[in-house]
Structure 1
Amino acid sequence: MSDTVAYRWSKRTLDVVVAGGGLVLLSPLLLVVAVVVRVGVGSPILFRQVRPGRGARPFTLLKFRTMRGDGSTGVGSDAARITRVGAALRATSLDELPSLVNVVRGEMSLVGPRPLLVQYLDRYTPEQARRHEVKPGVTGLAQVRGRNALDWDTRLSLDVEYVDTCSFGLDLGILLESVSAVVRRHGIVAPGTVSAIEFRGSDAGGRT
């Protein structure tokens, strides 16, 4: 096998073993969180949204709901819609646990650029769009370097850096750093917001 094939094989094996094993071992926690979301946020328990994956192919991302409503009507800001339960789930990254199902399905990897919104696709520069050359991840290089506390240009640059330098060793290092980032709750939200700032393109300075 070539190095590329060997890396992809080892990465997929790690994804299936860790994500599949995590879903089994964490099933009691998943059940508890599901009940908490049902009581504290409401139904449906899961947040489902189409996101672009590898090659910008769409897939349905799964997360625990943290906000009332789905935001599709444009009524109410994120700050108005997020619940106490939702804020706690985001702070501990427990809302991300259902994404392990996406990993087992092969739509995501444990490590890779975070899957962003479909409407961002035509806002990327050709260089930034290279983030879609690999599967999106539950965590990634940008997440351990600052997550939502980083400006968009920096985040997308780190995504492309990961594409150019990804290796099994780098993936393991990012997974270990991610545990520390979650414990420290570093970069969970952008400064002055309850979530992330919309990406409007690099010509807009990457922030609004």
Structure 2
Amino acid sequence: MSLVNSEVKPFKATAFKQGKFFEVSDADLRDKWSVVFFYPADFTFVCPTELEDLADNYAEFQKLGVEIYSVSTDTHFSHKAWHDTSPAIGKIDYTMVGDPTGTISRNFEVMIEQDGLADRGTFVIDPDGVIQIVEINAGGVGRDAKELLRKVKAAQYVRNHPGEVCPAKWQEGEKTLAPSLDLVGKI
């Protein structure tokens, strides 16, 4: 069953952000756009490149009213230690969520049970707490924050413009489509 158009399941966890620990829950994913960005583990190889890319583009997500939550099965203590020792991770100003019980990873169906780690899963969640975009990558394939930004803009556009859809490679400001009988077979 696809998680697209489903509500985020309840969770509570401890997170790290800007030198502080605090509690986060599914309620924090409401009333704004959110990206929940799962990765396998702290102190690894592809993961810091992805998280740094998100950090480098975080201001652009913020301009769109989007909050980023990176999640791994590490603890919030591990996130702090990694933040304090890695130049790439030290750039992060968004929330890093600890999921040592795997509850959040299981809720989003990205838990690799035999390893106790999360797949590379990306979820875009609308202000109603409904998942609009799901992307799962193999462990060795890193993601691109600019492509994620494009997808978030498309999801926001479609939400704000009922009856319109964004075609492949759509960029902000480009023409959209209005599905109708007149378009059938003409695209």
TM-score, normalisation: structure 2? 0.30
Work out which structure has the larger RCO, using CA pairs closer than 8 Å and 6 or more positions apart in sequence. Answer: 2
TM-score, normalisation: structure 1? 0.28
More helix by share: 1
